């Protein structure tokens, strides 16, 4: 079949983007042709992919999305495909990969009622309704079990259109046989001594991921513990407001903020703890990447994949409502207890051997390629 994959932006370091790429490559490996539509493509183009970059510009994202949708439908009319698979909510999809949570629920519970009078609200509400309305034919690939009831609540989406996927952690995230050697090399490169402690926070969108909370918790550590603890944050985002916070908290010598990069497994092996106090997170793939590399995790319970950390007993899950003081105390306790961290690391590696954390691309391809009723 000729498959069209659609997303608003591709860059190599986003979770949604990496999921798209692995699913598309799986479909290609099964013998199907891959076409990609996007307004923004950054990075290499895989062999055999037909990437069509839409020449659309607009001052506001929702206006750009509308222009992109019109351009997409016109191109598909000229050059049809067998299936259209979207990684953002929009009309005209045969399959939607639900990387984002329920917009309507957030609009009703987290926003001022005036927000729902704006054009931006109408755009995103209409595009979500196009996917989830009862009369829609779009099949839905769910990666967060907790979001499904919200979509059903707001749209009465038929249950049979939802397909819950397992996680899709890449096998290269698992701790290799030479993990200890890689850890030692990494720590030499970053000038970390035997008594030094390294926190990592990984993920694009520093504000949503709670980097401000992590910096406050680092600053609140007991003096001796704080002196030997460093934090490296990695992601595609504007670091300026957080660098100002780093300076204000007196952490300039202990914090690095790096752009997205492809060698994340080295950081997971070289660190002592992954901290991820997100404000909201549909899944949180990096949590499982840490788990399978043997790195303990400190995470808020709003993350869709946080339950895996509790089930594997490979770290701590902070309950809602969030309390900064609780994060401060928990971080200090985890960093001060090397035996417990080693215990959590072993638990993560054991869980990685027994649980299905890897087959998402294959299961997603099964749904995409399944015969459909006319």
* SS3 of 325-370: HHHHHHHHHHHCCHHHHHHHHHHHHHHHHHCCCCCHHHHHHHHHHC
Q: What is the mean pLDDT of residues 243-260?
A: 97
Q: What is the pLDDT of residues 203-246, one digit of tens each?
A: 989 999 999 999 999 999 999 999 999 999 999 899 999 999 99
> With 70 as the cut, is the pLDDT of residue 20 above it?
yes
- Residue 55 pLDDT: 96
* Distances 150 to 34, 146, 345 between C-alpha atoms, Å: 32, 8, 34
- Residue 151 pLDDT: 97
- Cα(315)–Cα(299) distance, integer angstroms: 8
- Residue 118 pLDDT: 86
Distance of alpha carbon 318 from the chain centroid: 19
Q: Do domains 2-166+359-369 and 172-354 have the same CATH topology?
A: yes
Region of residue 203 (phi > 0: left; psi between -120 and 50: alpha; otherwise: beta): left
- pLDDT band for position 110 (50/70/90)? confident
- Residue 262 pLDDT: 87
- pLDDT band for position 114 (50/70/90)? confident
* CATH superfamily for domain 2-166+359-369: Glycogen Phosphorylase B; (3.40.50.2000)
- pLDDT band for position 171 (50/70/90)? confident
> With 90 as the cut, is the pLDDT of residue 15 above it?
no
The SS3 of residue 117 is helix
> Residue holding tokens 């595609």?
236
- pLDDT band for position 374 (50/70/90)? low
Q: What is the mean pLDDT of residues 134-147?
A: 94
Question: To the nearest whole number, what is the mean pLDDT of the chain?
Answer: 95
- Residue 311 pLDDT: 97
DSSP letter string over 131-154? HHSTT---EEEES-TTTHHHHHHH
- Strand partners for 1: none
- Cα(273)–Cα(176) distance, integer angstroms: 18
Distance of alpha carbon 139 from the chain centroid: 21
- Residue 117 pLDDT: 84
Region of residue 302 (phi > 0: left; psi between -120 and 50: alpha; otherwise: beta): alpha
- Strand partners for 162: 140
The SS3 of residue 322 is coil
In percent, the amount of the chain with pLDDT more than 70 equals: 99
Residue 160 burial (CB count, 10 A): 7
Residues 6+ apart with CB under 8 A from 189: none
- Residue 18 pLDDT: 92
> With 80 as the cut, is the pLDDT of residue 257 above it?
yes
Q: What is the mean pLDDT of residues 248-271?
A: 95
Distance of alpha carbon 363 from the chain centroid: 18
Rounded to two decimals, what is the model's pTM? Answer: 0.87
Strands ordered across the beta sheet of 50-53: 50-53, 33-38, 2-6, 83-86, 95-98, 139-142, 162-164
Tell how strand 162-164 and strand 255-258 pair up: unpaired
- Residue 329 pLDDT: 98
Q: What is the pLDDT of residues 153-169, one digit of tens each?
A: 999 999 999 999 999 99
Q: Render the burial of 180-212: b for 16+ CB within 10 Å, e for the rest.
A: eebbeebbeebebeeeebbbbbbbbbbeebbbb
Q: What is the mean pLDDT of residues 186-192?
A: 96
- Residue 39 pLDDT: 97
> With 90 as the cut, is the pLDDT of residue 4 above it?
yes
More confident residue, 304 or 212: 212
Rounded to 5 degrees, φ, ψ at 353 are -80, -20
Can you give the residue ranges of every domain in the chain?
2-166+359-369, 172-354
Q: What is the mean pLDDT of residues 332-348?
A: 98
**Is the domain covering 172-354 a CATH 3.40.50.2000 domain?**
yes
Q: By C-alpha distance, which of 174, 367, 149, 142 is closest to 264? A: 174
In percent, the amount of the chain with pLDDT more than 90 equals: 89
| In contact, 244 and 351? CB cutoff 8 Å | no
Structure tokens at 278: 């997100």
Q: What is the pLDDT of residues 226-238, one digit of tens each?
A: 999 999 999 989 9
């Amino acid at each position: 079949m000729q498959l069209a994959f659609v997303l608003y932006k591709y860059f190599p370091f986003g979770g949604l983007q990496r999921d798209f790429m692995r699913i598309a490559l799986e479909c290609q490996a099964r013998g199907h042709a891959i076409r990609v539509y996007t307004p923004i493509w950054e990075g290499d183009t895989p062999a055999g992919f037909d990437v069509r970059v839409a020449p659309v510009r607009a001052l506001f994202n929702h206006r750009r999305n509308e222009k992109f949708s019109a351009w997409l439908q016109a191109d598909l009319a000229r050059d049809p495909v067998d299936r259209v698979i979207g990684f953002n909510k929009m009309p005209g999809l045969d399959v939607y990969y639900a990387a984002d949570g329920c917009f309507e629920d957030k609009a009703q519970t987290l926003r001022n009622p005036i927000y729902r009078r704006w054009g931006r609200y109408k755009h995103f509400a209409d595009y979500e309704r196009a996917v989830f309305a009862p009369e829609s034919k779009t099949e839905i690939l769910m990666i967060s079990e907790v979001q499904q009831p919200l979509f059903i609540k707001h749209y009465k989406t038929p249950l049979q259109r939802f397909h819950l996927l397992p996680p899709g952690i890449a096998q290269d995230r698992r701790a290799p046989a030479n993990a200890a050697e890689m850890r030692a090399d990494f720590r030499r490169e970053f000038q970390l001594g035997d008594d030094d402690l390294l926190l990592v926070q990984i993920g694009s969108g520093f504000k949503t991921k709670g980097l401000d909370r992590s910096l406050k918790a680092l600053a609140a550590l007991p003096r001796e513990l704080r002196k030997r603890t460093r934090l490296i944050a990695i992601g595609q985002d504007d670091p300026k407001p957080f660098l100002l916070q780093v300076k204000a908290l007196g952490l300039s010598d202990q914090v690095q903020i790096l752009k997205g990069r492809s060698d994340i497994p080295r950081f997971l092996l070289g660190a002592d703890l992954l901290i991820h106090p997100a404000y909201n997170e549909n899944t949180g793939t990096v949590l499982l990447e840490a788990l399978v590399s043997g790195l303990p995790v400190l995470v808020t319970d709003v993350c869709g994949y946080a339950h895996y950390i509790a089930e594997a007993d490979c770290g701590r899950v902070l309950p809602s409502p969030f309390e900064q003081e609780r994060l401060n105390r928990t971080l200090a306790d985890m960093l001060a207890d090397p035996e417990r961290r080693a215990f959590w690391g072993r638990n993560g590696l054991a869980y990685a051997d027994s649980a299905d954390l890897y087959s998402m691309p294959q299961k997603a391809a099964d749904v995409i390629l399944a015969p459909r009723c006319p």
